[in-house]
């Protein structure tokens, strides 16, 4: 077995310990406490009293019958990093020990080594990577979801190869495995906090869409006060530890304007202009502190797909590689002149009206009554405000699309051939998949499996659009070659 394969097999399977007593200036605080079993409950109680919130261990190692290793939530680790007086006193008096930087062992993060490629002589015209290998680039996909980044970057004309993907949601991970035959050798299912940077495989690009819920205009917008809002720091940690050549991150445009930012109003024929708020500026500063030139832009997938989907894309190139980002041609994305068939309307992606999936997606009378009630309470009319126009772009597909109580959910009233629907219906899983630009051979659940279908709607609404990622990836790699 190649040495690189052995290194990869060891990745993520062991506890990783950062230098003792050293705070992680980039990533989320992480650590564990070694404490005799009889003191564990008392320590949990004092944590809850001092932090004024419920505390659950991220995990408990029971290797020693007398002593437990208690993996701390981030807020508790941060308090001990800051030498919280009551917590440190308790540990001192009870002969406990705080272990900063310790990451939890997680069986689902243990990966099989990737198959070694057969040796082949490099082409004389092939470009060389830093390690002497020819062609292509390797990337790590964090918050992988169902693999939208991977689909975009592994297109033959882009040339990427996923060497590690991480996803915590078991349903999304299940969809990922079903659609990528080699996922056992690259998908690490588990918490990003438990990914050890020490043994990451060699990679050229880091990609991911860190959780958007804290920044979305459709939510409470707790921002950095939401634990999920801090997960960008784990992207920064992997950047700092892996030092790839470049990165692409994605999120909702609400991230840009949060806490003092703004955007201009919608004017036909003009792109909105964004002014970053304090939260976004802080995130950009963190990425730059890892040694990268950083740039960003809000792009709309309507240029690529039959869907209106604004997202902010943050790109970065390692400083030692030169200007990088300064050469990135955003105009190639903003002003791209696509053929008409490539910017199809909803009607072009609809399934036949007699498809079993279409029939199954029709609202029941009880569901229709509930949806009408939602609109009535808002003073809106379902047939007008809840309608998807088949001859236009679809509104943004969201993770809560298949939710009756969501006002954001829009319905099909007219089939592809112009036939009026008996009752309004949801977009089918396949139609949603097409709206996002996923390939036709991407596996979606059958209409008979209601639970899997609900989970799929959530996952596809959280995904990125592969066609847009493809163009971003090609342009970014051209900047650093």
DSSP per-residue string spanning 354-383? T-HHHHHTBPPHHHHHHHHHHHHHHT--HH
Strand duo 246-251 + 310-318: pairing: antiparallel
Range name among 182-191, 371-380, 441-450 with the lowest pLDDT average = 182-191
- What would the pLDDT profile of 109-118 be if each residue is shown by its tens digit? 766 555 544 4
DSSP state of 439: -
CA distance 478 to 481: 5
What is the pLDDT, as a whole number, of residue 339?
45
CA distance 51 to 45: 10
Range name among 4-13, 180-189, 268-277, 376-385 with the lowest pLDDT average = 4-13
Output the average pLDDT for the chain. Answer: 84
- Beta strands (DSSP E) in 378-446 are 387-388, 411-414, 420-425
CB 255 within 8 A of CB 312: yes
Report residue 32: phi and psi, to 5°: -145, 165
CA distance 107 to 395: 40
Closest CA to 474 of 209, 153, 125: 153
CB 17 within 8 A of CB 99: yes
What is the pLDDT, as a whole number, of residue 365?
96
Class of domain 17-102 (CATH, top level)? alpha beta
Report the SS3 class of residue 255. helix
CA distance 109 to 401: 31
Report the SS3 class of residue 182. coil
What is the pLDDT, as a whole number, of residue 3?
39
The residues annotated with a catalytic role in the active site are 212
b (16+ CB within 10 A) / e for 362-376: bbeeeebeebbebbe
Q: Does domain 346-461 have CATH number 3.40.50.2300?
A: no
Q: Is there a common fold for 17-102 and 346-461?
A: no
Domains in the chain: boundaries? 17-102, 108-117+127-343+464-480, 346-461
CA distance 25 to 285: 13
Confidence of residue 108 (pLDDT cuts 50, 70, 90): low
CB 79 within 8 A of CB 72: no
Range name among 129-133, 304-308, 448-452 with the lowest pLDDT average = 129-133
- What would the pLDDT profile of 379-395 be if each residue is shown by its tens digit? 999 989 999 999 999 99
Q: State the maximum Cα–Cα separation within the chain, in Å, rounded to a whole number.
A: 76
Provide DSSP, 216-245. Answer: -TTS---GGGSGGGGTHHHHHHHHHHH--S
Other residues' Cβ atoms within 10 Å of the Cβ of residue 329:
11
Displacement of CA 470 from its chain's centroid (Å):
16
Four-way CATH pick for 108-117+127-343+464-480: 2.30.40.10, 3.40.50.720, 3.40.50.150, 3.30.2090.10: 3.40.50.150
- How many Å is the Cα radius of gyration of the chain? 24
The whole-model pTM stands at 0.84
């Amino acid at each position: 077995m190649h040495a690189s394969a052995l290194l990869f097999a060891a990745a993520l399977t062991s506890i990783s310990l950062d230098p003792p007593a050293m705070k992680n200036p980039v990533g989320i605080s992480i650590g564990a406490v070694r404490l005799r079993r009889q003191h564990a409950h008392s320590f949990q109680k004092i944590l809850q009293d001092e932090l004024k919130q419920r505390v659950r261990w991220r995990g408990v190692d029971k290797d020693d019958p007398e002593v437990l290793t208690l993996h701390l939530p981030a807020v508790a680790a941060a308090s001990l990093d800051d030498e919280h007086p009551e917590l440190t006193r308790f540990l001192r008096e009870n002969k406990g020990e705080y272990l900063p930087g310790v990451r939890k062992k997680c069986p689902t993060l243990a990966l099989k080594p990737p198959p070694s490629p057969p040796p082949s002589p490099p082409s004389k015209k092939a470009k060389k990577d830093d390690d002497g290998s020819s062609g292509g680039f390797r990337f790590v996909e964090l918050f992988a979801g169902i693999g939208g980044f991977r689909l975009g970057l592994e297109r033959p004309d882009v040339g990427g190869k996923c060497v590690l993907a991480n996803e915590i949601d078991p349903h999304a991970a299940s969809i990922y495995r079903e659609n990528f035959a080699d996922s056992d050798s690259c998908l690490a299912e588990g918490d990003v906090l438990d990914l050890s940077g020490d043994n990451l495989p060699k990679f050229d690009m880091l990609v991911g869409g860190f959780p958007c819920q804290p920044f979305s205009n459709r939510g409470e917008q707790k921002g950095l006060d939401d634990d999920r809002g801090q997960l960008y720091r784990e992207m920064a940690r992997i950047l700092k530890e892996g030092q790839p050549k470049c990165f692409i991150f994605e999120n909702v445009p609400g991230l840009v304007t949060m806490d003092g930012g703004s955007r201009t109003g919608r004017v036909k024929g003009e792109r909105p202009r964004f002014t970053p708020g304090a939260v976004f500026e802080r995130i950009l500063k963190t990425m730059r502190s890892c040694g990268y030139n950083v740039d960003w832009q809000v792009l709309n997938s309507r240029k690529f797909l039959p869907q209106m989907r604004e997202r902010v894309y943050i790109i970065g190139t390692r400083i030692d590689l030169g200007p990088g980002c300064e050469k990135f041609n955003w105009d190639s994305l903003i002003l791209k002149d696509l053929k008409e068939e490539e910017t199809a309307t909803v009607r072009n992606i609809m399934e036949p009206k007699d498809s079993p999936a279409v029939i199954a997606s029709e609202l029941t009378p009880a569901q229709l009554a509930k949806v009408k009630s939602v609109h009535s309470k808002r003073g809106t009319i379902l047939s007008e405000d809840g309608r998807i126009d088949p001859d236009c772009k679809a509104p943004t597909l969201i993770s809560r699309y298949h939710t009756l109580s969501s006002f954001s959910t829009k319905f099909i009233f007219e089939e592809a051939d112009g036939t009026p629907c008996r009752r309004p219906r949801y977009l089918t899983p396949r139609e949603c998949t097409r709206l996002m630009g996923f390939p036709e051979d991407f596996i979606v659940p059958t209409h008979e499996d209601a639970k899997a279908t609900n989970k799929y709607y959530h996952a596809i609404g959280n995904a990125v659009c592969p066609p847009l990622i493809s163009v971003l990836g090609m342009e970014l790699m051209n900047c650093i070659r």
